[in-house]
Amino acid sequence: MIAMRHKDVKQLNALALAYMGDAIMESHVRLHLLQLGNVRPHKLHRTATNYVSARAQASFLHHLMEHETFADEEMAVIKRGRNAKSGTIPKNTDVQTYRHSTALEALIGYLYLSGNDERVDEMMDKMFAFVEQPMKERSEIE
């Protein structure tokens, strides 16, 4: 992937960044599940939703906000993504959850289009660990 010029990425609207981030996250999750040995199509789809649903993404973003330090640029993208007005009403979640999910997708899209693949991989690895960590263990940590 050839990274866009930094200036161009900053000028993209938050929903365009989220559009790209959604695709990148979906791709990373699919590859991760295949590497884990999950190969049945129905099971792959069902398991993938544990990672890419709006609820899972919003929960992961909240976790990151409590435990992660973001660069100023990253925080600005998160805020832009959270405040973006999509014009669609989410079907399976509330507006607040949807906005936080969009914020995470915008961040991943921004990092990817900026050519910061290492940071994308870092964030995705953290997401895998977060989702795969048993709920009981997660609540003890927080």
Tell me the pLDDT tens digit for each residue of 41-90. 888 888 999 999 999 999 999 999 999 889 999 999 999 999 998 877 77
* Measured CA angle at 67 (ends 6, 76), to 5 deg: 30
Question: Which entry of 8, 22, 94, 125 is annotated as an active-site residue?
Answer: 22
For residues 87 and 138, give the distance between their C-alpha atoms in angstroms, rounded to a whole number: 34
Of 1.10.1520.10, 1.10.3720.10, 3.40.50.300, 3.30.70.240, the CATH number of 6-132 is 1.10.1520.10
Average pLDDT for the chain: 88
Query: Minimal CA–CA distance to 102: which of 118, 122, 86?
Result: 86
For residues 108 and 114, give the distance between their C-alpha atoms in angstroms, rounded to a whole number: 10
8 flagged as catalytic: no
- pTM value is 0.87
